[in-house]
Structure 1
Amino acid sequence: MPATSAFARLTGSDPDTMPEDEARNGMIHVAALTLTKTADALIDPKLVLSWLMSALGAPGAMIGALVPLREAGALLPQLALARYVDASPQRKRIWAMAAALQGLAALGIALAALTLEGAMAGAAILACLGLLAMARAGASVSQKDALARTIAKGRRGSITGIAGSVAAGSVLAVGALLATGLFETAITPLAGLVAIAGAAFLLAAAIFLRLREPSGSPDDTEPEAGLSALIDPILNDSQLRLFVAARAVLSVTALAPPFIVLLSASSAQASLGDLGPLVIASTAASISASYVWGRLSDRSSRQTLMAAGALAALVFAAIATLALTFGSLGGPWGSAAAIFAAQIAYGGVRAGRKLHLTDMAEDAFRARYTALSNTLVGLALLAGGVFGLIADSFGPALVVLLFAALAAIGVALSHGLEEVQAD
């Protein structure tokens, strides 16, 4: 069948040995993830929403709350959701519902941007972003399980890599449009981008419901999962503890972009045209690396984490050295080059840690492993707010240098992980 052959070629598999249902499911995963990854980029709190709230005149404290709210809000509720996901006969329904809620929240942000201003706009956008983050928690808990139940090991990383690369292509065009300087005001075009993101989430929800996922819950064959059962893995599984520790320190790759932007000499006079190079840099990094990182993760997610962490350490050290030596990174395009390199490393960490957790956990425990890991890392991200205080006192260059040291620690921790892709 054409779909089987196409999907097999994309994942480097033999079409003659791939079931037709798996190929169909693979294309559905790719389509839905492409839409949500595109939407995520269009509503990026680090770039798009911070620019939008600044244009609306929202207080600086509200703008500073965007990234912690988005990241921690998407992780902290997952432990509470894991039991519900475990008991669900089909994970696709949970994922689709979560995607739809994200779409409605994004549309709410767009509406607030067009009708409110100042602190009122900031409060409304943060409230909608909080809803979006909580819905994303449900998507994260269910997506890995749905992927594992419908796609064989060895082809899962390629799916997320393909989706990331395709989505990045569309967002790259958006960045190029912004870089032209055609827009005199940031509010209307950025609100339009957020509305498009909302529509993409809703379409992804409809597509994912067509997934052919086997019915039945792993909980039919295991004891009821109470709170003690949910936290038991972190107490008894040394590999999970090591993975959470490695992931927590490597999360500096997600926190770094705002501090890199602060190192640009023109950041104080940033305009919408300056946003374009940053969007281009971020999406170009995804185009360059998503598929490669996905394929490498299929071979060894452990080595992918090590390689991405080492790259992050080198990139952050170089950025901090340049900033301390010359006082800046050379304006928006210099900052964009730094973000490009940093996002390459972030893509590797993201691909490696997602697939490592998917492949290390057994089917019956994958949802709770995901939720427990994400909840603990969410707490770490909340604690990461201290980096903002350090930047205020000592400058962002020191923070980026500290990130380099933490990334190096992440490499050492990842070295102790087992090779979960080995048969």
Structure 2
Amino acid sequence: MSTKSSNAAEQLYALIANEEDARVCKDIPDEACREVPRNFFLILASNVLTKLGDLLISPKTVLAWLLSAVGAPALVAWLVPIRESGSMVPQMVIAAWVRRKPIRKWFWTLGSVGQAISVVAMAASIWFFDGYIAGGGVIAALVFFSLARGFCSVSMKDVQGKCIPKTRRGRLSGLATTIGGSITVVLTVLLFWDRGEPGLTFYALLLLLAATLWMIAGFLFANIQEHHGETGGGGNAMTEAVKSLSLLRDDAPFRHFVITRALLLCSALASPYFVVLAQKQADNGWLLGVFLLASSLASSVSASVWGWMADTSSRRVMIRGAAIASSACLLVGAVALFTDEQAGSVWFYPLAFFILSIAHAGVRLGRKTYLVDMAGGNKRTDYTAVSNTVIGFLLLVTGGFTALISMISDVAVILTLGLMGMAGTVSALRLKEVTDD
């Protein structure tokens, strides 16, 4: 980066970060502190590009449509579990490998390139094949995509913890989500609004565009100036992974955090059921566009606010997000339970979905910032891997449990998740503060 560009980055960073405290870099080395502005914007740009890529291959919209279009609708049920849990479950093994290396940005770059290759494979599957051969190709590529994403998840928190000061990490994540959400709003309108039923070529090009975004993100991340960190775990990766599970037994604060995070899954699992209730009330095609816009707008208007708040207290962000999410679930459940399906405005469920999305952004950003702030060195990598692996398994279990409840009633699922969120709020209240003012 040229001197002129470097100065511009430092000035913009000073404006965004409100850099006045000379002790702001007290938890990272001085040599790393000098590179903070440059690294801040490289991480920011990489995150924004990958968030846009996530929109273009959303398993809830794009991939689900693709499997139905190529004649493999029975495989749709596997999309979300593989996408969410596939990147979490193997993370203890990945972390045992990652922590042996003093420089870890290359794992994120490798993961980003791997995701790009996976998405290209999806595009090739639907272009050259049809039926369950094409669908199986998409599912196989999604498995590889999720594994590659696991490398990104483990390494991102560690690189961010080494390169960005403790009181600036929340606003970095919040700003990335806000920018990504704002661009998503525009893309949603341009790509999906009033276009009828797009053809296969349109979706194949979307996948290739997403792959390009991940390649660019990987290139940008490779240019981060990361200094050497702690190394360890020279044994077999699986052995080290099993040893890492002892954290749940021996580290009480971490165990409490994992329990809290598990209870806060309600904010992610409830969203599809809001859409189901809306479809029962008014089965209009434009409602899908409204929900997509609601999700994007919620991220763009709330993430930066949550990020700034997380730099003061990530614990309080988790509490507030959980309280809003559980309240939204209980309100929607009560309205659906005590009124008939045609009661109320058609805008009620999209509005509730918007509020839930704001709450989910807070829960997600708060727990990410809390995890990075509560640990240092190799422990940060272990915390991330163990937490994500456990949550990956619990996500599958909870998803199966809610699927069983949905056989009785979608409203019962929402009310159950609302109660689960209330328990998560109480659990978050008992977490200790880890953010230094």
Q: Normalized against structure 2, the TM-score is what?
A: 0.89
Residue ranges of structure 2 left out of the alignment (5+ in a row): 1-6, 26-32
Aligned length: 419
Residue identity over aligned pairs, in percent, reads 32
- Pairing 1:2–2:8 present: yes
Residue 29 of structure 2 corresponds to: none
Residue 388 of structure 1 corresponds to: 403
Q: Among 310, 319, 330, which residue is 1:297 paired with? A: 310
CA deviation map 1:65-104 (0-9, x unaligned):
2111111101001011111111112110000000110111
Task: Give the aligned residue type for 1:8.
Answer: A
Q: Over aligned residues, Cα RMSD in angstroms?
A: 2.5
- Pairing 1:363–2:377 present: yes
CA distance in 2, matches of 1:221, 1:118: 46
Residue 54 of structure 1 corresponds to: 68
Note the C-alpha offset of 1:209.
0.4
Task: Give the aligned residue type for 2:43.
Answer: H
Note the C-alpha offset of 1:131.
0.9
Note the C-alpha offset of 1:173.
1.1
Change (3 A) 1:320 1:190: farther
Change (3 A) 1:44 1:329: farther
1:162-177 correspondence to structure 2 within 5 Å:
162-177=175-190
Contact 1:113 1:121 in 2 (8 A): yes
- Pairing 1:199–2:205 present: no
Note the C-alpha offset of 1:158.
0.9
Q: Among 415, 430, 436, which residue is 1:401 paired with? A: 415
Residue 153 of structure 1 corresponds to: 166
Note the C-alpha offset of 1:59.
2.4
CA distance in 1, matches of 2:116, 2:342: 38
Note the C-alpha offset of 1:333.
5.5
Task: Give the aligned residue type for 2:353.
Answer: I
- Pairing 1:116–2:129 present: yes
Q: Among 60, 67, 72, which residue is 2:80 paired with? A: 67
CA distance in 1, matches of 2:41, 2:21: 14
Note the C-alpha offset of 1:339.
2.3
CA deviation map 1:261-310 (0-9, x unaligned):
21123699675x55322221111110011111111111111111110000
CA distance in 2, matches of 1:140, 1:379: 16
Residue 4 of structure 2 corresponds to: none
CA deviation map 1:131-184 (0-9, x unaligned):
111111111000000001111110011111111111111211122134531243
Q: Among 272, 275, 278, which residue is 1:264 paired with? A: 278
Residue 345 of structure 1 corresponds to: 359
Contact 1:34 1:164 in 2 (8 A): yes
Q: Greater shift after overlay, 370-379 or 188-197?
A: 188-197
Q: Normalized against structure 1, the TM-score is what?
A: 0.92
Residue 154 of structure 2 corresponds to: 141
User: For 1:13, what is the secondary structure of its paired residue?
Assistant: coil
Residue 30 of structure 2 corresponds to: none
CA distance in 1, matches of 2:344, 2:120: 36
Note the C-alpha offset of 1:329.
8.5
Q: Greater shift after overlay, 191-200 or 145-154?
A: 191-200
Note the C-alpha offset of 1:409.
0.6
Residue 376 of structure 1 corresponds to: 390
Contact 2:266 2:326 in 1 (8 A): no
Q: Among 324, 329, 333, which residue is 1:311 paired with? A: 324
Residue ranges of structure 1 left out of the alignment (5+ in a row): none
CA distance in 2, matches of 1:257, 1:285: 13
